[in-house]
A and B are shown apart, each in its own frame.
Chain A
Amino acid sequence: MVIGDIERKLRLQNFEYSAPVTVKEAIDLLAGDNCGARILAGGTDLIVQLRQGHLSTDRVVDIKRLPDCNKLSYDPSEGLILGAAVPCHRIYGDETIVKTYPGLIDAAAIIGGIQIQGRATVGGNLCNSSPSADTIPILIAYRAECEIAGPTGTRKVPVEDFCTAPGKNILQKGEILLALHLPSVAKSSGAHYLRFIPRFEMDIAVVGAGAYVELDEEGRSFKKARIGLAAVAPTPLFAREAGDLLQGKEVSEASIDAAALAAQSIARPISDMRAPAEYRKHLVKVLTKRALWGAVRRARGEFVPNAVQENGR
């Protein structure tokens, strides 16, 4: 490679930049006559992919000036509205969210380093649609829904139906993910996300597992459980049957082991530079168990630290 090639590689290609202030304006720009406008939120995936030539675009539409995309509000009956352009640091900097949605914090606080968390968004993590995305399993576990606006109106889609293949999702030309809606959480409930990486941090999940559980008032049996998995299939997975198995069951090693086995049975991982498929298959079971136990402990009011509480911010 000669120096000219290297220079070209490091510089972004030309495109137009727009920062609309209304959703309609944004949709018009995205639906317009162009070869692939791209939405910019935190830019921690988009700018890298444009620079590396994995993506090309003739227009970048920055959604950070759309009020709908910057909303971060919690209401005990409505749940959490998480705007698609809200960066991770705002999420773990919000005491109410830290208390109410600890599983979301587990994920938001381990993506990249501090300087990435200052920009990276959960909405962007979802739209990047990587099978190993850290926030998607816990969004699935929390039964989050995507609020999508487009040329023909708005629609709501469960997060588990959003990703269709590595890097691909259901968004059509002109559509924008405005926000994620997480339902309010039940009283005796808890959630936990964890991943395996060979380092302490700054890495991509070899496997990730997120769980949300609701227990009876004594904290002895499961009323409900939902499990999401990362990096074990071409898309993040909703392990519906594994969670359903726990309904009405006593909280025990046996019931949780059975759910973890069910989660393991739907995993169809590949071998790559991060791990062989066999190892991932093994990890699914281990991590699902740990995610469920972490969620149970939190549901029982026990303290299970997140990355902010462990490492400071």
Chain B
Amino acid sequence: MSRKLYVNTTINGEEIEFLCEPRQSLLEVLRDDLEMTGTKEGCNDGNCGACNVIMDGVLMNSCLVLAAEAQNRNISTIEGLATPQGLHPLQQKFLENASLQCGVCTPGFLMAAKSLLDHNPDPTEHEVRHWLAGNLCRCTGYDKIVRAVCDAADVVKETA
């Protein structure tokens, strides 16, 4: 058994400490130890995007990040997307457009879309589709997701 590692990190603006085994992925620690189960495990090998989080402003698959690497990082997960004032426009537009069925891919899509709008507040439909190419959804056929992201971009632009 490897020695446990102490990690101090920031998740959704809150400073968090945890102990982890070196072999644990960030995804495992989020879900199993920190009980933040919003981030989903899909393929667990970097293909599906269900486990997307934003680390220091960069979108990544948390299944391909070791929890130990989170030391002194700033991580955003789906749990931090809505505020006490209400849902994020992306979440609202996903609801209005019925952009989810089973919902397992949704947190990953939302974090990927959040990252897109952070980089490019006015994306074309083509750019939305390319940015989301690393996220898989087996229910919706993607159209409703793309429409929701385009609608949310309009809202974010207006309120910016």
Contacts and interface: CB of A to CB of B under 8 A. Distances in A.
A and B assemble together: yes
Interface of A: 10-17, 19, 40, 42-44, 47-48, 51-52, 60, 62, 64, 87, 89, 112-116, 118-119, 200-202, 311-313
30 contacts: A12-B23, A12-B24, A12-B25, A14-B2, A15-B23, A16-B22, A17-B2, A17-B22, A19-B68, A43-B66, A47-B46, A48-B45, A51-B44, A51-B45, A52-B45, A60-B22, A60-B66, A62-B66, A62-B69, A64-B69, A113-B134, A114-B112, A114-B131, A114-B134, A115-B46, A118-B59, A118-B60, A119-B60, A200-B133, A312-B126
B120 to A, nearest CB: 6
B3 to A, nearest CB: 7
Contacts of A87: 58
B131 A15 contact: no
A312 B133 contact: no
Nearest to B49: A115
Chief secondary structure at chain B's binding surface: mixed
A116 B49 CA distance: 9
Interface residues of B, number: 41
Chain A CB within 10 A, most for which of B3, B120, B130: B130
B53 to A, nearest CB: 9
B145 to A, nearest CB: 14
Given A14-B21, A15-B2, A312 B45 contact: no
6 closest pairs, A vs B, by CB? A113-B134, A312-B127, A17-B22, A311-B130, A12-B23, A118-B58
Contacts, number: 103
Contact of B46 (A19, A44, A89): A44
A63 to B, nearest CB: 12
A16 B3 CA distance: 8
Nearest to A52: B45
B66 A40 contact: yes
Contact of A113 (B55, B69, B126, B135): B135
B81 interface: no
Interface of B: 1-3, 5, 21-25, 28, 44-46, 49, 52, 55, 58-61, 63-66, 68-69, 71, 112, 115-116, 119-120, 123-124, 126-127, 130-131, 133-135
Contacts of A89: 58
Chain B CB within 10 A, most for which of A64, A113, A119: A113
A245 B60 CA distance: 44
A112 B64 contact: no
Contacts of B126: 311-312
A18 to B, nearest CB: 9
A113 B45 contact: no
B59 A48 contact: no
A64 B55 CA distance: 14
